[in-house]
Amino acid sequence: MCNATEGIPHMSIPKGKIFLLQPVQFSGPCKSNQVLVEVGGIIVAPTNIQAWNDEKEKWISFANIDGLTINGGGQIDGQGSVWWNACTDKALHFHNCNGLQLSKLRHLNSPKNHISISSSNRVYISNLHIFAPEKSPNTDGIDISRSSNVSVLNTVMETGDDCIAINGGSSYIKISGIACGPGHGISIGSLGKNGAYETVEEIQVSNCSFTGTQNAARIKTWQGGSGYARKIIFERIRLINSEHPIIIDQNYDPNSLKPGSKSAVKMSDVTFRDVRGTSADEIAIDLVCSDSVGCTNIVLENIDIRSTIPGKRTYSRCNNAHGTAKETNPIVPCLSQ
């Protein structure tokens, strides 16, 4: 397919057909600047672990292919339950695929991450339905790392982990129209694990709903790391029984803390605006910033998060967070002073 020199190279999975696909990698660069893959039918992964041979990190991988479009209305089924207690990785992985477009597909039961994007620019993802059982471990919907100018729009995600995770090296990410739940919400990070220097900036999350999720809008960084997370906006967010609606955690894994550590990923210029709905936990706003670095210019505006239980109050919790809060329920004293 990559050697075609005329027209747009095209691979089709016919509608009404089911194909068992062994682990496979499609590698470029391609001679054409456009490549089309139409998935009209159903692709399923082998359920026999031995069938994967030594390739246990990726099921379907695309690398170094620019102008790749995958659509067609079909289904990609990772049949991942056999892997959920094992060590595996991504179902569908794109590396260095600039100009990628992914739309109108169903993704089911990934062994781990359903879709992973790395080292790519100008990525457009829309109109997907991603599903894995609520208790399935590590079944992230979409993971983004070291990528820029990525849009994820109008997609339904029901997972056992993050609906979307935005990892280090990512910038100019737009997420809108996501229906998340169950799952662990939309997360920035985790960043700075094992003392790493990592950065994330220019992230916009808007017009998203979270139903029965463990978290909703979350930023998580490890103590001992370095770098920054900045210029991040969560706005027009709707909540239904979300356990932790707004959470900043600069101590993502408290068990890893080193006494006296003065290093942390710097967090600044983060806005939560027009966030409304119900919380399953009494702590609806949780801003846990590190003692050493803290968070600056944290802005909360037009927030109304009430308890799922009628008559019960919601509260906020702060540590070393600095900024402003306006028209916020529950009140956030550390930002309101």
Structure tokens at 300: 């909360």
Tokens 């050697």 sit at which residue? Answer: 3
Alpha-carbon distances of 185 from 6, 38, 165, 218, rounded to whole Å = 44, 30, 9, 7
Q: Is 184 a catalytic residue?
A: yes
Distance separating alpha carbons of residues 96 and 67, to the nearest angstrom: 11
Distance separating alpha carbons of residues 128 and 122, to the nearest angstrom: 18
Residues β-bridged to residue 95: 63, 118
Q: How many CB atoms lie within 10 A of CB 277?
A: 20
Distance separating alpha carbons of residues 68 and 117, to the nearest angstrom: 13
Residues β-bridged to residue 148: 121, 171
Q: Return the exposure string of 76-114: e unless at least 16 CB atoms fall within 10 Å of the residue's CB, then b.
A: bbbbbeebbeeebbbbbbbbbbbbbbbbebbbbbbbbbb
Name the active-site residue from 107, 184, 244, 322. 184
Structure tokens at 72: 């067609």
Which residues are the active-site residues?
184
